Structure 1
Amino acid sequence: MEQMVSNVQKKIFLRWILDRHLLANREIIWLLHYLMSNDQLLGMIHIVDDVVGVNRLITITSPEQEGHIFRYVKATVETNDPEKAFHDLRMNQQEDVYLELNIEAVRRSPIYFSVLEENPNSSVDVHERYGRMAERAAGEAERIFIVDQLSKGINNALDNGDKEQFYLLSKQLNEVRRNQSKKTE
C-alpha cells in the first residue's frame, strides 16, 4: 500500500528536524531550506527508511555515526557535497528523489512515521514494518496541523478585531487540546 505524503507534512517534518538542531552541516541545512521552499521539488522527495535500489537518492547521517554525513547519488554519479546536490536538484525536477535519514533522534520520533513512504524496490511495505506507529504519527501530524491552523486563525482574528471568530476558533482549539489530554491520560 503506497502512502501519499503531502508537501505540508514534509515541510512540518523538515522544520521539526531543523528546529531541533539535529544537523550541524550548514550546507545540508541550506539544502533542506531549499527543499521546503520549492513545492515542485518537495513533491518529488520521498522519505524512506532504506534507499536500496533507487536511481536518485540522498542520505543524511548524524555526525556521531561512521561514514559520510551526506551522500547524493544520481544513477552512477555520487557526491558527498550538498552544494553539488543542490545544483542538480535545482536543474532536474522531473525525477523522484528518495531521502534516507540515518539520525537516531529522527527514527525514534512519531513525526518520522507520518512522512515515511515506501521504497518502490522494497518487498515489505511501511505499514507492515511499522504498523501502529505510523498510524499514531499520522494522527499526531494531523492534530499538529489543525492546532497550527487554528492558532493562525486566532491571530488573524485578533489582528482584525473579530471577536466572534476569535471566540469560535479559541473554543475549537481548546476542544482539540482537551481531546488530546484525554488520550494521554
Structure 2
Amino acid sequence: MEQMVSNVQKKTFLRWILDRRLLTNREIIWLLHYLMSNDQLLSLIHIVDDVTRVNRSITIGNSEKGIQFFRYVKTTVETDDPEKAFHDLRMNQMEEVYLQLSIEAVYRSPIFYSVLEENPNSHEDIHEKYGQMAEHAAIEAERTFMINRLTHAINKALDEGDQQQFYALTRRLNTINKQTNG
C-alpha cells in the first residue's frame, strides 16, 4: 500500500529535524536545506525506515559513539560526501530517492510516522509494522491542532474583551489537557 506524502509534510518534517538540532554536520544540514528549497527534487524523496534494495538512497544517522554518518548510494556507486550527493541530486531530478534517518529521536516522534512511506522493494508493510505508532501520531497531531486552534480563539476573545467566550474556550482547553494528562 503506497502512501502519498506532500512536499509540505516533508518540509515540515525536515524543518522539525533541523529546529531540534538533531544534525550537526554542516554539509548534511546544507543538503537538507537544499532539498526543502527544491520542490521538484523534494517530490522524489521518500522517507523510509530501510533503504535496502533501492537504486538511489540517502542514509543519515548517528553511530553508537555519537558520530554522525552520511551515505549516498546510486545503483552501485557509494559516497559518504554530502557535497557529491548534492551534485548528483542536482543533476538528476527524475529518479526516486529514498531517505533513511537512523536517529533515535526521530523514531520516537509522531511526526516521523506521518511522513513514513514504504520501501517498494520491501515485503514488510509499514502499516502493520508501525500501525500503532502512526495512530498515536494522528491522535497527537489532532490534539495539537485543537489546542492551537483553541489558544488562538482564546487570544482573540481576550483581544475583543469577550469574557463569556474566553471562559467557554478555556474550559474546553482545560478539558483537552486533562484528558491528555489524566
TM range (shorter): 0.7 to 0.9
In structure 2, the residue corresponding to 1:131 is in which secondary structure?
helix
- 1:24 positional shift: 1.1
Large movers: runs of 4+ above 3 Å: 63-68, 138-148, 173-180
How many Å separate the matches in 2 of 1:44 and 1:146?
A: 32
CA 1:96–1:65 in structure 2 vs 1: closer, same or farther (change >3 Å)? farther
Corresponding residue for residue 127 of structure 1:
127
**Structure 1: which 5+ residue stretches go unaligned?**
165-169
With normalisation by structure 1, the TM-score equals 0.78
CA 1:91–1:81 in structure 2 vs 1: closer, same or farther (change >3 Å)? same
- What amino acid sits opposite 2:94 in the alignment? Q
- What amino acid sits opposite 2:70 in the alignment? F
Pairwise CA RMSD of aligned residues?
3.0
CA 1:138–1:93 in structure 2 vs 1: closer, same or farther (change >3 Å)? farther
Worse-superposed segment, 30-39 or 61-70: 61-70
The residue correspondences of 1:31-42 to structure 2 (distance < 5 A) are 31-42=31-42
Corresponding residue for residue 13 of structure 1:
13
How many Å separate the matches in 2 of 1:119 and 1:125?
A: 9
- 1:6 positional shift: 1.1
Offset from partner CA, 1:18-45 (integer Å, 9 cap, x none): 1111111000000001111111111110
1:115 equivalenced with 2:111 (yes/no):
no
Corresponding residue for residue 52 of structure 1:
52
Kindly indicate whether the alpha-carbon contact (under 8 Å) linking 1:114 and 1:141 is maintained by their aligned counterparts in 2: no
Q: Alignment identity in percent?
A: 69
Higher Cα radius of gyration? 2
How many Å separate the matches in 1 of 2:129 and 2:78?
A: 29
CA 1:120–1:26 in structure 2 vs 1: closer, same or farther (change >3 Å)? same
- 1:73 positional shift: 0.4
Corresponding residue for residue 88 of structure 1:
88
How many Å separate the matches in 1 of 2:15 and 2:171?
A: 26
**Structure 2: which 5+ residue stretches go unaligned?**
161-165
- What amino acid sits opposite 2:89 in the alignment? L
- 1:145 positional shift: 6.7
